[in-house]
Structure 1
């Protein structure tokens, strides 16, 4: 894992992931896990980052990723499963959309360290103290004009 934290309000972790589509063999891609205190409940997984001009971004709950380290977690478009006897060193993240699905194997040790560092910035249960409601409402109001 390479530390790519930009400043004290973000945590970034570049990893190599295995991405598998149904019926196709998995391919290795560069990816980045990102946490930003301005969106304290979420993590971003960017496939292809930082090399790709247009990485594919998935946003999901930090708590989902954390729970998925220990037991299967998630409903809907993102599912996270802990290391399995066939893949002892990786966490499986299954992402689904209207156009298909993919299984992304992310290194478990790097994922755990990424989460540890994100909790050093914003401990679990203290996320609401970092939500800027006024900024969110202003952005919403500006988008309606």
Structure 2
């Protein structure tokens, strides 16, 4: 991905996308910050998929596509108490990645794949 400055310049940000079939409702972005290490950001898989088609999201994560074909971009505007980040990535590559997550766990089967017992156990025992 690339971080877009207020002046429009772009800086590369090494990014890993993570999807776990045990937690099928979310996608995790791990942005590599040379000073702090990986910086995680979690959004819903549905929001990411919808944002590839039209402007989507409110609050701390807003997503929208621009352009068409192989040069299309996906924009992520992420806000936190520490500031905001406007990131862009090639839309076709992200579409392919998200499509593969739906092959692993189709939208209609997310509830079946969700490991609620594990999440409840972690919550009750104080783990995040």
Check 1:21–1:97 CA distance in 2 against 1; reply closer, same or farther (3 A cut).
farther
Question: Shift in Å at residue 125 of structure 1?
Answer: 2.4
**How far 1:26 moved relative to its partner?**
2.2
Unaligned runs of 5+ in 1: 1-16
Aligned partners of 1:29 and 1:36: how far apart in 2?
22
Q: Alpha carbons of 1:28 and 1:70: their partners in 2 closer, same or farther (altered >3 Å)?
A: same
- Residues 1:63 and 1:99: Cα distance change in structure 2 (over 3 Å): same
| Number of residue pairs matched by the alignment | 126
Change (3 A) 1:69 1:24: closer
Give the counterpart of 1:54 among 29, 32, 37: 37
Deviations 1:85-126 (A, max 9, x none): 7xx421001100011101110110110000111001000121
| Residues 30 and 52 of structure 1: CA distance in aligned 2, closer, same or farther (over 3 Å) | farther
Alignment of 1:124-143 (within 5 A): 124-143=107-126
Give the 3 Å change call, closer, same or farther, for CA 83–63 of structure 1 in structure 2: same
The residue aligned with 1:109 is 92
Change (3 A) 1:127 1:29: same
Report the CA distance between 1:21 and its aligned residue: 4.0
1:23 Cα deviation after fit: 5.1
User: Within the alignment, does 1:39 sit opposite 2:18 as a pair?
Assistant: no
TM-score of the superposition, structure 1-length normalised? Answer: 0.77
Q: Partner residue of 1:10?
A: none
Task: Pick the aligned partner of 2:14 from 26, 30, 39.
Answer: 30
The gaps in structure 2 that reach 5 residues or longer are: none
In the TM superposition, what is the alpha-carbon distance from 1:30 to its structure 2 partner?
1.5
For each residue in 1:17-76, what CA deviation from the matched residue of structure 2 results, as whole angstroms up to 9, or x when unmatched?
111244573201221111111111000111128x88721111000011100111000011
